[in-house]
Structure 1
């Protein structure tokens, strides 16, 4: 009976040795530099062609259009009007009124240039100008409400601050997009390394099976060892298929971020390789933490947005306080019969301090409930903003420190993992030597070898985790690591 079982095993060994197995890709191609797709290469492509990055640039452009619109309140304005009445052969009136108003930044004043020509039988005498008409040059100055700041200056100042807000928001979105892309890159890196290690393990298992098959045929090894070796091959083929799918999916995810200069999507080539990483990763220096904390305090996009909002509220508060003042507008014009620079006009009809129009406008709401209510609302928003600044500042600081701690922990774990792999390799080598001397079993070799592969995969996972934690550290500080 034992002889029959041994014969069956020998037949199986011969069958496997002759037919062999499907040879999977080993990932051991001779790669030139053109096959390495580094994080720096990805960065160059993303910041040149990624549509979301281009979209964020529209934020500041949109804010600048608001500034342009606000500047429109200071555009010169030309107004003209003509009316005439003729009835029963009598010209009742013939009126021509024109004015060029130039808003000035200083004191909210308006410079006005005008020309009026009013004539007619039944025209109000105070409006009659004679056939030559009257020219006027003058100013309208708010001495009360509007002297310090008015609606148009308030709108312009706030729109300029909105450019700073938009730029901070743009930086925030770019950092968020880049952080997500970096994580996808290191996921691809891990998937590639995992697949590579599994393929290496499969090659070792196949080589061992072939060697044992040959030894079984000549009677040096029992047939049961060949069967066990082949089971190991099958298990690693299953692992290889699983990791190959994970690598393919990780490559597809990373391809989402690849675009060319025509705006067409690109696919990451199947033979592209991630950059090599030094596995002896050291703990980041404490100076890096201090630098990032200082950077986060002054340049974090979220804080910059809040500070810009605070500047807006300060302008709005100034404007609302201005509205508590009474309206007191002084309007003065020097008038003349002059219709041109070379006109010959008598001195008493020309521009001088004896020929003028002057007026005062005064208005003041008695209760100011609307103005006081809006001012109070602005002050409440300022208080809320101050609380947000304190809270966000504390949270950002703690997030940076927590991310730094994660990076430090990964570096410490990687140092231990590297030593563990070295020790496990010693065990595998020793077990192979004992097996060659007949003092060990194939089961122990496979167990130690499988554990070594798992430890190497875990090391690559920790390397990818370290890189993602490092990217998170910069992201939490409100910036990004430039490669």
Structure 2
């Protein structure tokens, strides 16, 4: 009789403990039934619209195009004018007016010049003296040696246009890098959520078993020690549940770093948001997809594109430096007229014709060309460095893609085995439960097999998360992003 009373009091005690635990756990459910799925595709849409780093990357091409516009400024027409007059002692010493419109031309590096000069006065230099109506000139300045094929302004413009491609490749690189980091954070959140869900299921199973064992302890069908063991299992799983809950909160905060609205204000991931469910179904990447990624990366990988654009830029620089080895021979000529407008009536002797002209010739040539030859040699060396770097980088890109693909294949094989292991472990647990009901097993074995099953399911979710991260890494190393 005393033994039955003892068992009754012990059972009542454990029943009270169960009620307390169940009440506390009711407040620890991670996500409500009205949870909303926040898929990776939804995240990508938000990121590419509102993420500040993505917007910042787009500024790279804008800056490069601004440099192109700046380089085009070397071909802008230039209008200049000069005026000077001196009166002293009732005499006009000079009255000078000079104006010129200079239009740089792309062809042959020539300059078109249209000018008007009026230089009068008693002390005006006879070489520049004009009539009271002034003198109009239309002419060209053409480099026949250095600068005929390419000059500094054409070299600068060509290189700035090439740098637009470089900036676009850098933009793609930054976007790919940003998205790769975001995708990893998403799958870390996925794993933290699935881990918490599975841990919560374990807590609920342990609590139900504790309730059943406590009831059987009260009526004397089970020993009190079974209730103690069931209660210890509840405690262990509750501790793990609280730990996983914190991990989920931290994962949610990390993912929130990438959420912004259209006004540039930061957003937080709602607590009722849950990641998409995969159920062990992952995207299969075949050999054909691998070959496509490798082939595309060889042509479009941002690092390789950047190296090629650097090489193209150096090709332009090399052509310019080779041009600098030529002697400088500039010839200029202008046809002259005293007319001040197209409708003016000017005698033929003072109008535009071959007898009224002004010509000039400029020649310069450094005897040793050491500066020019040294600069050309430096450019050639840099071009060789780019070629070697491109060769090595191309090989590394290809091998990095294949390395990620191999890791992906390994994950896929492990997932297949793990899925089957989970099914087998579930069968073992069911068999152990049947044996327990027949009195041929113990609560310890039940808890052990159940704990093992929960751990295996958590490991499966970890593999799924790792697989998805490796898949994102595969596309990142291929210089692109995964399409949905």
1:441-461 superposed Cα distances (whole Å, 9 cap, x missing partner):
000000000000000000000
1:271-420 equivalences in 2 (<5 Å): 271-281=272-282, 283-420=284-421
Query: Which structure 1 residue ranges, 5 or more long, are not aligned?
Result: none
Q: How has the CA–CA distance of structure 1 residues 17 and 96 changed in structure 2, closer, same or farther, with 3 Å as cutoff?
A: closer
**In 1, Cα distance between equivalents of 2:30 and 2:439:** 33
- The question of 1:170 aligning with 2:171 is answered yes
Alpha-carbon offset, residue 280 of structure 1: 3.5
Alignment match, 1:212: 213
Alignment match, 2:249: 248
Q: How has the CA–CA distance of structure 1 residues 14 and 301 changed in structure 2, closer, same or farther, with 3 Å as cutoff?
A: closer
**In 2, Cα distance between equivalents of 1:294 and 1:385:** 21
Alpha-carbon offset, residue 224 of structure 1: 1.2
Alignment match, 1:23: 25
**In 2, Cα distance between equivalents of 1:127 and 1:209:** 114
Contact residue 145 and residue 327 of structure 1 kept, 8 A: yes
Contact residue 8 and residue 219 of structure 2 kept, 8 A: no
**In 2, Cα distance between equivalents of 1:454 and 1:317:** 64
**In 1, Cα distance between equivalents of 2:449 and 2:2:** 30
Alpha-carbon offset, residue 99 of structure 1: 0.5
Q: How has the CA–CA distance of structure 1 residues 28 and 220 changed in structure 2, closer, same or farther, with 3 Å as cutoff?
A: farther
Aligned to 1:82, the other structure's residue is in SS state: strand
**In 2, Cα distance between equivalents of 1:2 and 1:460:** 50
Alignment match, 2:473: 472
**In 1, Cα distance between equivalents of 2:174 and 2:21:** 54
1:160-201 superposed Cα distances (whole Å, 9 cap, x missing partner):
111111110010000000000000000000000000000001
Q: How has the CA–CA distance of structure 1 residues 354 and 282 changed in structure 2, closer, same or farther, with 3 Å as cutoff?
A: closer
**In 1, Cα distance between equivalents of 2:11 and 2:106:** 101
Contact residue 252 and residue 267 of structure 1 kept, 8 A: yes
Aligned to 1:80, the other structure's residue is in SS state: strand
**In 2, Cα distance between equivalents of 1:454 and 1:109:** 79
**In 2, Cα distance between equivalents of 1:6 and 1:37:** 50
Aligned to 2:470, the other structure's residue is in SS state: helix
1:389-468 equivalences in 2 (<5 Å): 389-468=390-469
Alpha-carbon offset, residue 85 of structure 1: 2.3
Contact residue 31 and residue 271 of structure 2 kept, 8 A: no
Aligned to 1:97, the other structure's residue is in SS state: strand
1:377-418 superposed Cα distances (whole Å, 9 cap, x missing partner):
100100111110011111111100000001111011000000
**In 2, Cα distance between equivalents of 1:30 and 1:215:** 32
Query: Which structure 2 residue ranges, 5 or more long, are not aligned?
Result: none
Alpha-carbon offset, residue 95 of structure 1: 1.1
Normalised by the length of structure 2, the TM-score is 0.97
Contact residue 9 and residue 224 of structure 1 kept, 8 A: no
Which deviates further from its counterpart, 277-286 or 47-56?
Answer: 277-286
Contact residue 407 and residue 466 of structure 1 kept, 8 A: yes
Alignment match, 1:221: 222
Alignment match, 2:271: 270
**In 2, Cα distance between equivalents of 1:423 and 1:28:** 29
1:4-50 superposed Cα distances (whole Å, 9 cap, x missing partner):
97566345334335545412434474346xx1101011011101111
Which deviates further from its counterpart, 80-89 or 151-160?
Answer: 80-89
Q: How has the CA–CA distance of structure 1 residues 313 and 28 changed in structure 2, closer, same or farther, with 3 Å as cutoff?
A: closer
C-alpha RMSD of the superposition: 1.6
**In 2, Cα distance between equivalents of 1:130 and 1:150:** 38
Normalised by the length of structure 1, the TM-score is 0.97
Which deviates further from its counterpart, 20-29 or 421-430?
Answer: 20-29
Aligned to 1:125, the other structure's residue is in SS state: coil
1:262-314 superposed Cα distances (whole Å, 9 cap, x missing partner):
11100001110101114143642101100100111000000000001001000
**In 1, Cα distance between equivalents of 2:356 and 2:15:** 123
**In 2, Cα distance between equivalents of 1:269 and 1:134:** 80
Aligned to 2:345, the other structure's residue is in SS state: coil
